[in-house]
Structure 1
């Protein structure tokens, strides 16, 4: 575990209940619990478990639930997290610049910045499922490597310039819901707020519809539509943004290079992913239908908390 700067350590203590002296015992409890779950094949590395503990504000019971949800989702819905390998195609998707994580820029509240530019991806060449696989990989790595992101959370700028109905057509209601389930209940990162920049009218209507359809059963972060950089600056200090967005914190091509180096350094991490997941016939607990959740036939079992 990396030593935190004093200001970030203060936030971790006051907002996440993170006390370094307690972490070894928390890790022992989680690892013991994982080994007791016959159905569960989960990562037990300190970095991975600490990222989830932070996401759950050090609630052990919530962390157990998120661990189970994370690996159950990977086994049950491979269409969302398929191809999670550091292949040339994944690196090519990264070079398109559809997801930027500036290494150094921080918001004024110390949250990390995530800039998504889905309109820069050609829907005829890459399906939204491939983009989701890439996104899930990078978001997981940022949770492991970026302490601001893991502790304070993410401020997402969803730059929808060049996005059109062809992009939205690939993201039907079922796929959208599964992605938001992964983001809310599985991902180690917390998205605090989303700013939708330059969204075409038809895309705004589509996003509003999707949010309305699922808002009753999902926890959505606050979402704001902004139509210009000047309007965005009202929410995010201009100096915190990359230079391409009028800020002072680096260039977007530096973000792409940083993420590519990060992906390559975790090549073995993702190659090892086939060893993890769930074996549902071994799970203990009552069976609960999830047809209402995802519009698909099947079952999902309750997690047993020891």
Structure 2
């Protein structure tokens, strides 16, 4: 377990209930629980489990549920998180500049920054491929970026160059499943989303997404900002990359950082075939997603924490 800088250690202790004495005990409890679940094949590495403990503010029951949901989702909905391997296609999507994680400085509350630019991805890549890459990047940031794991992420959703045809791929069913993964399964917490540079023809689409998030009980607010100057009211200008008027490095540096990170985790994702759930072995409870999406995966109801 990496030691945290003093300011992050203070936040982890006061807001996440993280104490060095308790961490080792919680890891033993989680590993024992995972080994006892015959249907569940889950990772048990220290960094992986701590990322989930921090996401759940060290509630063991919530952590167990999120880990269960994480691996069950990968088994039940491979169309959302399929092809999670470090292939040349994934590296190419990264080089397009779909997702940026500037390193320094942090937001004023120590949260990490995530800039998502879906419009830069050509139409030859389907949104499902975009989601596979994004889920990989978010998981690695939860494992590697202590600010993101402890405080969470502030997302800038830059809609420049996103057209109606590409947005239409994100239909209601696909979006509901993807949002469920982000809110109920991912080890990374998104604190707030700011939508920037939204074309007029996509305003109604954004309204639908916001309505769905509200319907699904999201407590992560989403704001539409009309300009960089308005964005600076929420995120200090200096924290943004130079392409967004700040002094926090360049976007190409973020792409290089993520490419190096992906390559260093190549074996990690190759090993993913060994994890998931065997639903036939699950006893004594309703299978996750059966109630939410139905036996065939159609959406019914979501209750989001």
Shift of 1:291: 6.4
Q: Deviations over 1:245-292 (max 9, x none)?
A: 010110000000000000000000000000000000000123369567
Question: What is the distance in 2 between the residues matched to 1:296 and 1:94?
Answer: 34
Give 3-state SS (helix, strand or coil) of 1:215's partner.
helix
Question: What is the distance in 1 between the residues matched to 2:247 and 2:89?
Answer: 31
Shift of 1:216: 2.6
Shift of 1:219: 1.7
CA contact (8 A) 1:287 1:299 kept: no
Matched, 1:197 2:212: no
- Count of aligned pairs: 299
Structure 2 partner of 1:111: 111
Give 3-state SS (helix, strand or coil) of 1:107's partner.
coil
Question: What is the distance in 1 between the residues matched to 2:201 and 2:76?
Answer: 32
Matched, 1:6 2:25: no
Q: Deviations over 1:155-204 (max 9, x none)?
A: 00000011111111111000000000000010000000000001112322
Structure 2 partner of 1:82: 82
Q: Unaligned stretches of 5+ in structure 2?
A: 300-305
Structure 2 partner of 1:253: 252
Give 3-state SS (helix, strand or coil) of 1:196's partner.
strand
Structure 1 partner of 2:58: 58
Shift of 1:98: 0.8
Shift of 1:95: 0.1
CA contact (8 A) 1:156 1:194 kept: yes
Structure 2 partner of 1:67: 67
Structure 1 partner of 2:303: none
Question: What is the distance in 2 between the residues matched to 1:118 and 1:251?
Answer: 18
Shift of 1:212: 1.7
Shift of 1:238: 0.3
Question: What is the distance in 2 between the residues matched to 1:287 and 1:63?
Answer: 18
CA contact (8 A) 2:70 2:181 kept: yes
Mean CA deviation greater in 102-111 or 54-63: 102-111
Question: What is the distance in 2 between the residues matched to 1:90 and 1:290?
Answer: 28
Shift of 1:22: 1.1
Question: What is the distance in 2 between the residues matched to 1:109 and 1:56?
Answer: 19
Structure 2 partner of 1:41: 41
Shift of 1:295: 6.4
CA contact (8 A) 2:74 2:81 kept: yes
Matches within 5 A, 1:179-258: 179-258=178-257
Question: What is the distance in 2 between the residues matched to 1:293 and 1:29?
Answer: 28
Q: Unaligned stretches of 5+ in structure 1?
A: 301-306
CA contact (8 A) 1:291 1:299 kept: no
Give 3-state SS (helix, strand or coil) of 2:215's partner.
coil
Question: What is the distance in 2 between the residues matched to 1:264 and 1:288?
Answer: 34
Shift of 1:214: 5.0
CA contact (8 A) 1:53 1:59 kept: yes
Matched, 1:281 2:280: yes
In structure 2, the CA distance between the partners of 1:137 and 1:289, relative to structure 1 (3 Å rule), is: closer
Shift of 1:103: 2.1
Give 3-state SS (helix, strand or coil) of 1:193's partner.
strand
